[in-house]
Amino acid sequence: MISTFPTPTPKSAPRTLFPDGVAVVIGGSGGIGSAICTALAEAGTDVVLTYRSNIASALSVVDAVAAAGQTADCHQLAIESASDVAAFFLRIAREHTRIHTVVNASGALIPMSYIGDLHPEKFSEIMNSDANGFFNLVHASLPHLRKQGGSYVQIGTVGMFRWPTRDIMSVAPKAAIDAVMTGIAREEGRNGIRANTVALGLINAGMALRFKGNAYDDNYWEAAVKNTALKRLGTAAEVADAVVFLASNRAAYLTGQTLVLDGGFSL
């Protein structure tokens, strides 16, 4: 008797998380932005990042992306300038086959102030740099994403779910941005474009560290840890993992959503 054995089924090729092209990370030189750039590279996509003034940090991120096996480039950009943002995206579109992802991780060091103590000029200034700046990003990048679809990921704040006293200048512009993100998700889904937000609690990286010893003293940090369900602060790597998931094809049926990454602070 001749024994026969079934022919092994060939293993399918591993699913790629991103199409050919580039992910653009606005504010990619910062503590959280740099982790996002590296995680995107590790997930298999090339990266273009922007910085406002710290070119040394931006260049170190370029090196980290290269070490992960992908290419990267960095550009100085102030997003409150609509003309500069438009020129930036035109250049990136010319230099790369496709822009498939835009991540907004930008953010300036803002004053911690009670609403009643905040001067109208400061409110207007930060709303312009954050909220108007984000609209500039959308206006300039949307025509490029419409060509083949893509994804927006915004770094938001848990302040939309649990009010952080004296943090009006973080929450107010993010509220405006959230409205735009919802509109993108609803209006541009027909063009294969998704839009999702990662709302951060206190993360032990980036802007929060710059507040240490100033607006955020030791008592503030201790109280923040006690107020989370997980009894710890988040990390930049955890933010980056969430961003990569939302931007990738693993979240292909997810749009208009907010992932609250706060260790249970808002519960």
**b/e map of 71-90 (b: 16 or more CB within 10 Å)?**
ebbbbebebbeeeebbebbe
The domain limits of the chain are 22-261
- Phi/psi for 52 (5° steps) reads -95, -50
User: Quick one: average pLDDT of 23-31?
Assistant: 97
Which of 103-112, 182-191, 216-225 comes out lowest in average pLDDT? 216-225
Q: What is the pTM of this model?
A: 0.91
Distance CA 118, CA 112 (A): 9
Give the pLDDT of residue 142. 98
pLDDT value at 125 more than 80: yes
Nearest partner of 47 among 95, 106, 108, judged by Cα? 95
User: Quick one: average pLDDT of 104-121?
Assistant: 90
Distance CA 255, CA 186 (A): 8
- pLDDT confidence band for 5 (50 / 70 / 90): very low
Distance CA 243, CA 36 (A): 7
Going by the DSSP 8-state scheme, the letter that residue 189 receives in this structure is G
- pLDDT confidence band for 112 (50 / 70 / 90): confident
Architecture per CATH, 22-261: 3-Layer(aba) Sandwich (3.40)
pLDDT value at 3 more than 60: no
Distance CA 54, CA 76 (A): 9
User: Quick one: average pLDDT of 81-107?
Assistant: 97
